[in-house]
Structure 1
């Protein structure tokens, strides 16, 4: 385990090195800030160990101070430590969240609990269909897409999570190895396709199913960021079919809760489709989510869907609808503060599209105030939980870039990337790419190529079509600067990865 103090010490030591080199060159913090360029507050924050900007910042400091690679080497060491710490924290949080549902887990191997061995190829999962169904594994359990750890060597309590399965119309929790669930998500294991008619209509639906689906969705959101949308979407679509089947059986308030659950999963499917570059499918899923939210009278989620629709209209040529959809979200009563902040961000983008810098800044400041005033939450599934200070900084960067103020955009994007949680790699990759666009707009093609190369690595790892598409667009603009080594390196990388 990485000791957090070790990471803090590495960051502070790096700041001390920067101050030492600055003093050796006879520069004040303001003088160095003007040459980098960043604010003097940023230099002060770095030297005291309160913050650590991205690699481009350290490259510029190297160039200004002539530090012989010492600052870059120190940054790389710090970044490696921080990435390890962030990953360990993410894994620990995930384990803690799933550990909360252990109270309904039957003892391993108890009668009536299916035990299915994990196979690494399609067809290697033990008998899960037809006449070969293990004792106690009903058709409804098969629909839950669960691979249960077989209790063999190498499996301990820290290697498993609990996921939901339906047995005779009742929701139960099953012990599942993390590796099994991730491999299932990655498509290494094939299970029967879900069909609505497979759920026994004579059984009552356990209300606990709603909470189980919420926790499973949260896990798949995390898996999506780690594995990429292509590996997750088919599993999400199967779960939506199962939710719909259970919703048809339910009545009253439970049915409304399942309709809301289906709406949230449909929006998630739309997000995945958008990221994979299929906007038509993404739009269909989002429309379905909106219809379900209205059917369930889920005003909070309907407001969120409206804000998402506004987000999707940015840069489509039909941007008068951006502000209109955002305003529609804000008009709904009892909209959560973070959803209102998300809608205010879309209003800001609408203002930027109209070249209204004052309107843009007013809307962004409103979003910042809403996020600051919102109740703190550690729930990743809370509506608008992504609307954080780094997210707002990234959106502010987008606006300044569109308003043709690239220096302001670089400052905002850099702040966002530096604070972005390491576990959300794909979004960090997107904002790295946008930072690169800002560097190019500021006539810094070499720096643009360096940052874009980082973004490309993220796109390759996660399979994000959005990030790759944005890097490709930048590369086309960088071709006239191919004589520069960093630009040539990026273009060669793109050619190699196809």
Structure 2
């Protein structure tokens, strides 16, 4: 009968309302069924209107979904309407579906014909609750942002493997949150967290020599930042992509990422890192002395806009690069161009700062650059250079960064004319122990040409 059909329709609406609220809260049918102590098929049948459980079920649903009793209240209304319908049917035969007086007005369009023009008020209420519901909040986002900040700070203090073990489980957790519902400001923050995590994981993969994984993570970092339209995070991600491309030997790509990042950074804090770590070093490897001079000057000029201090910035700085980082990267660029004097000038400041901060990665890299500089010029100093190289590899014996390994190879290539120096053999053997584990014999030091 018509009345019976309308009761069924109301029950289906209630089932759909439950489905909306469950999904908004981030529950699967299977997981929600365990919480309400019903079978998954019962939950599925209820949501499609094929099953209509008792009031206790709806009360449990309200408690778990924190609806304030909306579902049980609607269950009671449908039950009362069904009772009225049965009474009227017994006295007068079939009667129209009674709509609760508190939800209609006599002059409302369609109030006397089942309100066919309107959605059921329960569906509207479900949408309101879904709008207010969120599987994220300020506390959770603050926790994730703090984890990212700590990881960036610890990047050169913990071994890549240790930090990777700490961060890798967080990335799928963030991805799970992204599959739920958030208000726009929360979602933008969540995308920013995901971008920074992917970028950090990319640099850890780079440290361990996994270039393809590093490229994939860094590309994901930029895509997340781009989707959220966060230009600051976009610039940070481009700087990370440029870093990975540089150590992969893709210097044109490193330059392209840096230049695009600078367009997004504007005069923001990431412009320093993009200019000196990305643009200047890539230009140096491409042989552009004029471009390097200009980039170095731009980086130090931009650095002057920020307060100076003795604290060394993180290598993946979420803010501006510090004086020591800027100087060290300028030295690396000039070293690639064969400008020994410029290298030693910049490294004088950098090495002292890195030693004070006890950052082994930067300590090793700057020593290897200085060692290579000591092999060049009119008065080469192979003994002092070898001592610096040995010190660098010893400092990072338990942190076998790919960047340090590459810099050590470059040092040995420069040391060819001094192959008879005993300490150079030690450098070659240490590098072999770091990078050629499993090989039968260490690689021979190149003979003098």
Cα deviation for residue 404 of structure 1 reads 1.5
Cα deviation for residue 210 of structure 1 reads 1.6
- The answer for the alignment partner of 1:313 in structure 2 is 245
Task: Give the Cα–Cα distance (whole angstroms) in 1 for the partners of residues 345 and 211 of structure 2.
Answer: 31
State which structure, 1 or 2, has the greater radius of gyration over its C-alpha atoms. 2
TM-score when normalising by structure 1:
0.54
Cα deviation for residue 297 of structure 1 reads 1.3
Cα deviation for residue 356 of structure 1 reads 2.9
Cα deviation code 1:15-34 (max 9, x no counterpart)? xxxxxxxxxxxxxxxxxxxx
Q: 2:324 aligns with which of 385, 390, 393?
A: 390
- The answer for the alignment partner of 1:413 in structure 2 is 347
- The answer for the alignment partner of 1:162 in structure 2 is none
Tell me, yes or no, if structure 1 residue 285 matches structure 2 residue 222.
no
- The answer for the alignment partner of 1:302 in structure 2 is 234
Question: What's the C-alpha RMSD, in Å, of the aligned pairs?
Answer: 3.0
Contact 2:214 2:244 in 1 (8 A): no
- The answer for the alignment partner of 1:449 in structure 2 is 386
Contact 2:206 2:244 in 1 (8 A): no
Tell me, yes or no, if structure 1 residue 351 matches structure 2 residue 283.
yes
Tell me, yes or no, if structure 1 residue 340 matches structure 2 residue 271.
yes
- The answer for the alignment partner of 1:422 in structure 2 is 357
Name structure 2 gaps, 5 residues minimum.
1-63, 66-132, 438-449
Q: How does 1:46-61 map to 2 (within 5 A)?
A: none
Cα deviation for residue 341 of structure 1 reads 1.3
Contact 2:374 2:384 in 1 (8 A): yes
Tell me, yes or no, if structure 1 residue 475 matches structure 2 residue 412.
yes
Please give the secondary structure, in 1, of the residue aligned with 2:321. coil
Q: How does 1:135-150 map to 2 (within 5 A)?
A: none
Contact 1:276 1:466 in 2 (8 A): no
Please give the secondary structure, in 2, of the residue aligned with 1:409. helix
Contact 2:196 2:237 in 1 (8 A): no
- The answer for the alignment partner of 1:437 in structure 2 is 372
Tell me, yes or no, if structure 1 residue 215 matches structure 2 residue 164.
no
- The answer for the alignment partner of 2:395 in structure 1 is 458
Task: Give the Cα–Cα distance (whole angstroms) in 2 for the partners of residues 446 and 223 of structure 1.
Answer: 34
Cα deviation for residue 318 of structure 1 reads 4.3
Task: Give the Cα–Cα distance (whole angstroms) in 1 for the partners of residues 281 and 412 of structure 2.
Answer: 25
The number of aligned residues is: 299
- The answer for the alignment partner of 2:427 in structure 1 is 490
> CA, structure 1 residues 487+391, in 2 after alignment: closer, same or farther (shift >3 Å)?
same
Please give the secondary structure, in 2, of the residue aligned with 1:283. helix
Task: Give the Cα–Cα distance (whole angstroms) in 2 for the partners of residues 496 and 325 of structure 1.
Answer: 34
Task: Give the Cα–Cα distance (whole angstroms) in 1 for the partners of residues 252 and 393 of structure 2.
Answer: 32
Cα deviation for residue 222 of structure 1 reads 4.1
Contact 1:300 1:336 in 2 (8 A): no
TM-score when normalising by structure 2:
0.60
Cα deviation for residue 472 of structure 1 reads 4.0
